[in-house]
């Protein structure tokens, strides 16, 4: 039970650390970037991420002993991405971060599949799909700028 609580706390902390990067972001820089036509309005990100963090927390609670190592590493990379991309404005490094993040999360999906945690797999899949979309958006910013 302690591990479950720790993972929930780490999930909340990752969400907080990623979100606090907004306070240090030069939004003028971001607004002036050329972006993909598929880039959603900024408010969409504010709606999607809390839902994804909730789903991640549920999956980590249900599967703590199966995924905790990969899960903690991916939380660190997830939080780091916002700082790397928005605050440091290192879009290429952020893209590498998100590629590693996707690989780790595919590993989590495989682990959930192998252990027959199908409900958790379905709950976690939107996060991995959103990361893939975010990687596309990150790459498009790299290419267009």
Domain spans of the chain? 2-144
Residues 6+ apart with CB under 8 A from 128: 102, 105, 106, 109
Give yes or no for a contact between 7 and 68, defined as CB atoms under 8 angstroms apart.
yes
pTM metric for this prediction: 0.93
Q: Is 56 helix (H, G, I), strand (E, B) or coil?
A: helix
Q: How far apart are alpha carbons 112 and 89 in whole angstroms? A: 34
The band of 63, judged by pLDDT with boundaries at 50, 70 and 90, is confident
Assess whether pLDDT exceeds 90 at residue 65: no
Q: How far apart are alpha carbons 23 and 21 in whole angstroms? A: 5
* Residue range 2-144 in CATH 2.60.40: no
The band of 104, judged by pLDDT with boundaries at 50, 70 and 90, is very high
């Amino acid at each position: 039970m302690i591990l479950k609580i720790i993972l929930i706390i780490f999930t909340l902390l990752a969400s907080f650390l990623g979100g606090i990067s907004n306070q240090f972001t030069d939004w003028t820089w971001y607004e002036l970037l050329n972006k993909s036509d598929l880039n959603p309005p900024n408010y969409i990100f504010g709606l999607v991420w809390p839902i994804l963090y909730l789903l991640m927390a549920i999956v980590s609670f249900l599967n703590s002993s199966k995924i905790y190592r990969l899960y903690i590493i991916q939380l660190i990379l997830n939080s780091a991405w916002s700082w790397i991309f928005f605050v440091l404005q290192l879009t290429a490094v952020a893209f590498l971060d998100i590629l590693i993040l996707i690989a780790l999360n595919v590993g989590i999906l495989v682990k959930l599949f192998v252990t027959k945690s199908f409900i958790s797999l379905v709950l976690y899949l939107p996060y991995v799909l959103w990361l893939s979309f975010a990687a596309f958006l990150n790459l498009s910013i790299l290419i267009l700028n």
